[in-house]
């Protein structure tokens, strides 16, 4: 099994596209349970 390194920006963005994975990942990083997330788009194409 190959595990992607979330340090890389592209992989981190890919992981955070799935709300359940994002919630679990952020809960682990923060050390507290994250109950809800609100996604706001930051990148726009010109």
Residues 1-40 pLDDT 10s: 677 676 777 777 777 788 898 899 889 989 999 998 887 7
Domain extent at residue 1: 1-28
Per-residue confidence (pLDDT) for residue 22, from 0 to 100? 87
* Domain contains 21: yes
* Domain contains 8: yes
Number of domains in the chain: 1
> Cα-flanking dihedrals φ and ψ of residue 3, to 5°?
-110, 125
- Which candidate, 25, 21, 23, 16, places its Cα nearest to that of 37? 23
Residues 26-37 pLDDT 10s: 899 899 999 988
* Domain contains 14: yes
Compute CA distances 46 → 14, 26, 41, whole Å.
Answer: 22, 30, 14
* Domain contains 46: no
Q: How confident is the model at residue 46 (pLDDT cuts 50, 70, 90)?
A: low
pTM here is 0.59
Instruction: Tell me how far apart the alpha carbons of residues 24 and 16 are, in angstroms, rounded to a whole number.
Output: 10
* Domain contains 18: yes
* Domain contains 4: yes
12 CB-near residues (< 8 Å, 6+ apart): 6
Q: How confident is the model at residue 43 (pLDDT cuts 50, 70, 90)?
A: low
């Amino acid at each position: 099994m190959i595990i992607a390194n979330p340090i890389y920006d592209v992989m981190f963005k890919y992981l955070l596209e799935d709300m359940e994975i994002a919630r679990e990942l952020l809960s682990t990083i923060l050390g507290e349970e994250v109950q809800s997330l609100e996604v706001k788009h930051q990148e726009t194409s010109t």
